Amino acid sequence: MLRALSRCHAPVVRLLSPRTAVLVEAVRGRKSRTDPIAKSKLGRIKTPPPVDPVEMVVLKERYTEYNLVLRALRLEFKEQMLRKKYEEEVGSVAEERTKREAEEHRSLMALNDAENLRMREIRAQRMQKEAEAAELKKREAAILRQQELESYIKEKERQILLLQEEAKDFITPDNLDQRIEEALDNPKNYNFAIDKEGRVVKRTAFQQ
């Protein structure tokens, strides 16, 4: 008997207790909020898993697209249900109104297409005028640049000719002796003054 009881997993007290008594079994439960942190987890730092930015952007776009599609489907189904309910309640009046709305929609679409065509023609004319004005402005700018270049070239040519004329009087190693002889043969006196009227005074009152 005792051997059989020892092989049984249930406690002996539970087996020998009367039927009317309350059976209480010890079960390991969850830790309460007031219990301290376990010693094995004192230094643990919970870090969230890394998130790929590219994957997050793709998931966000897909989630937004999913919400839009789902919302559109809901609205479509809701509209179909409401239309069906309304047609069942009203009948021919709803059908007649639907036809009238469809006809009005077609007329408005035709008016919209005509207005779009008119605006397209106006826009094409405006763009053509703007292109012509831009081309004219471009040609005028090219002509102005050409004129400025020609005037610049003429000015430089004039300066070159003037410099060539002035270069004739320059003293060079070739004509150095000749210029010295001319200076000795034609002495000049630079001891003179100029009064306020521009007259040259070669002898002043202080000269003896």
Could you tell me the pTM of the whole model?
0.34
Residues 77 and 114 in one domain: no
CB-CB contact of 87 with 95 (8 Å): yes
Same domain, 68 and 112: no
Is the same domain home to 106 and 85? no
CA 169 to chain centre: 66
Q: Are residues 111 and 155 in the same domain?
A: yes
Q: Are residues 85 and 106 in the same domain?
A: no
Q: Is the pLDDT of residue 184 over 60?
A: yes
How do residues 6-65 score in pLDDT, each as one tens digit? 555 455 555 555 555 555 666 667 888 899 988 888 888 888 899 899 999 999 999 999
**DSSP H helical ranges for 91-196:** 92-167, 176-185
Same domain, 113 and 70: no
Domain extent for 76: 58-90
pLDDT, tens digit, 9 for 90 and up, residues 152-177:
999 999 999 999 888 887 888 888 88
Q: How many domains does the chain have?
A: 2
Residue 5 confidence (pLDDT): 47
Contact 96, 86 (CB under 8 A): no
150 shares its domain with 104: yes
Nearest to 41 by CA among 31, 28, 50: 31
Cα 34 vs. chain centroid, distance in angstroms?
A: 54
What is the spatial distance between Cα 96 and Cα 116, in angstroms, rounded to a whole number? 30
Q: Write the DSSP assignment of 173-200 as a string of letters.
A: TTTHHHHHHHHHHS------EE-TTS-E
**% the chain with pLDDT above 90:** 45
Domain boundary among 71, 90, 109: 90
| Same domain membership, residue 76 and residue 130 | no
Quick check: 164 and 171 in contact, CB under 8 A? Answer: no
